[in-house]
Structure 1
Amino acid sequence: MTKGVFITLEGGEGAGKSSIILRIAEWLRHAGIEVVVTREPGGIRIAERIREVILNPEHTEMDGRTEALLYAAARRQHLVEKVVPALQRGCVILCDRFIDSSLAYQGHARGIGIDEIWSINRFAIGDVMPDMTLYLDVPPEVGLKRIRANGEREINRLDLEASRFHEMVQEGYNQVLKLYPDRIVRIDASQAIEEVFLESCRVIGRRMKEFGIHLSN
């Protein structure tokens, strides 16, 4: 494989992205694929520091546009320092969140506007977009219930938002899905984790064939 493949996982809080992405990585590595797993905001030192600022539960006064700009800044550094070099090496990138999160969270749920957030992020990412995106769709009340039941998961500033905010995030993702139907595939994340994983593998397997990559397992 000479050209890497950029795969992102998206979804609201409690959708199960972090668990599924690790299982997908194990599956791909077993098939002989070199995989890089990363996340946004974060993945590298500078972006992780920005993550601490964005998600700190004490930073309740943060303005929505400030939040959007911080996400874009973290995204830019993460892209040039980690994602692009890995793609140039021919790796498969599995990234927990990318630009679609900003479109749904800040663009729609914060009310800034999807077009405005796209403009900010177009400057940050240039022409780098995911080759495929799995949208793990879960009802907000189910996702938040999972978070409350998971004592090991960090509770961040976004988790503390009112239920209406999380409903608007889901609305935002549905709008983004309509904008990019060829790239984004919706997966019902309210299913058992094994079913979500198997469906994710089926989607990735089909898309990989389009890039000339056939998974044997």
Structure 2
Amino acid sequence: MNERTRGRFLAVEGGDGAGKTTQIDLLEAWLTEQGLACDRTREPGGTPVGEKIRSLLLEHGQGEIDPRTEALLFAASRAAHVVQRIEPALRAGTWVLTDRYVDSSVAYQGLGRELGAEAVAQVNDWAIGGLQPDLTIVLDLDPAVARERMAARGDGRADRMESAGEEFHARLRTAFLDRAAAESHRYLVVDAAQDPQTVQAQIRARTEELLHG
């Protein structure tokens, strides 16, 4: 396929409460204003099988899920997501915006669950068949501030990942920042403690490089 007709793939990452939903809302609206077709999706999920896996992974009351099983379930959802939804959309010229991708597994299972970042990354490299985002946006926020945001949100009980302890969420933040530092050319790290419009302005400035690249 002519590279100019292929869509672009953007992933938005960060800990729980960092504001991913708000920023994807704003980015999707802006890209649509530019006349671009957008497919907004999420992980785990994005496909029928992925949504079933999401329920197993995130909802309480599903029984014990050990860390290795958890990591493999995330990778299975992601494999389906890439083959069934992301790649077809990109081939059709659509811009894909995903709430979470491989970095989340490396952070949550690799460091958060202490399975090892390299081991989790290898499993996911195989699952995605080499498909990397054109840009990964990391919304960086102190976990203590994120907890305050989620408490103020008051929209119900935290899911299994959100319910993990303080040390777990501190490890997540370190993982996201380390991944971004290792390949800074394809990452944008934004201070998510800023107001949403300021955060969005930085995201749009970087995204414009893809628009004109």
TM-score range, shorter chain: over 0.9
Report how far residue 116 of structure 1 moved.
Answer: 0.3
Unpaired runs of 5+ in structure 1? 211-217
Q: Which amino acid aligns with 2:127?
A: A
1:178-193 mapped onto 2 (5 Å cutoff): 178-193=181-196
Question: What is the percentage of aligned positions where both structures have the same residue?
Answer: 36
Change (3 A) 1:112 1:187: same
Within the candidate set 113, 116, 134, 2:137 is matched to: 134
Match status 1:144 vs 2:169: no
Report the counterpart of residue 94 of structure 1 in structure 2: 97
SS in 2 for 1:133: strand
1:57-206 mapped onto 2 (5 Å cutoff): 57-59=60-62, 61-152=64-155, 155-206=158-209
Task: Work out the CA distance in 2 between the residues paired with 1:59 and 1:106.
Answer: 18
SS in 2 for 1:9: strand
* Deviations 1:140-195 (CA, angstroms, capped at 9, x unpaired): 01111111111236621011111111001001112211222111110000111111
Q: Which amino acid aligns with 1:183?
A: R
SS in 2 for 1:182: helix
1:20-59 mapped onto 2 (5 Å cutoff): 20-59=23-62
SS in 1 for 2:35: coil
Task: Work out the CA distance in 2 between the residues paired with 1:157 and 1:146.
Answer: 17
* Deviations 1:13-36 (CA, angstroms, capped at 9, x unpaired): 101001110110010001101111
SS in 1 for 2:96: strand
Report the counterpart of residue 215 of structure 1 in structure 2: none
Q: CA RMSD in A?
A: 1.3
TM-score by length of 1: 0.93
Native 8 Å contact 1:72 1:120 kept in 2: yes
Flag as ranges the 4+ runs of structure 1 deviating above 6 A: none
Q: Which amino acid aligns with 1:197?
A: Q
TM-score by length of 2: 0.94
Tell me how many residue pairs correspond in the alignment: 210
Unpaired runs of 5+ in structure 2? none
Change (3 A) 1:157 1:185: same
Q: Which amino acid aligns with 1:124?
A: A
* Deviations 1:117-152 (CA, angstroms, capped at 9, x unpaired): 111111111111111111000100111111111123
